[in-house]
Amino acid sequence: DVKVTQSSRYLVKRTGEKVFLECVQDMDHENMFWYRQDPGLGLRLIYFSYDVKMKEKGDIPEGYSVSREKKERFSLILESASTNQTSMYLCATLGIERGSNQPQHFGDGTRLSIL
């Protein structure tokens, strides 16, 4: 089974702090994703990475950056946290296999509160 581990289940930070959310996967998947999920808005893609040191903006990248220095680790960075970044953050991975549907595998999520 794929294991996707997010560093914290719950996190409380202050406005203006730099916040790091870490995600580690053990299945050698090329693709990794960061989403946030808010009531009524569903899952929204922040950034994704399809290889080490590669990153692509998702639908809502503003206020965030990412780092993928190693294949197994994908970090989401809030450069200067703001209260509207209070949310549930979900990391996911996706492997590449020809000719078959590929689902994503999610971590448990991090509930981040910015005070």
C-beta of 54 vs 80, nearer to another protein = 54
Strand residue runs (E) in the chain: 4-6, 10-13, 19-25, 31-38, 42-49, 56-57, 64-70, 73-78, 87-94, 105-106, 110-114
Query: Rg (Cα) of the chain, in Å, rounded?
Result: 14
> If binding is defined by CB under 8 A, does position 95 make contact with another protein?
no
Q: Contacts with another protein in 24-43 (CB under 8 A)?
A: 31, 33, 35, 40-43
Among 11, 13, 45, 72, binds another protein (CB under 8 A): 45
- Interface with another protein (CB under 8 A): 31, 33, 35, 40-43, 45, 48, 58, 90, 92, 94, 101-109, 111
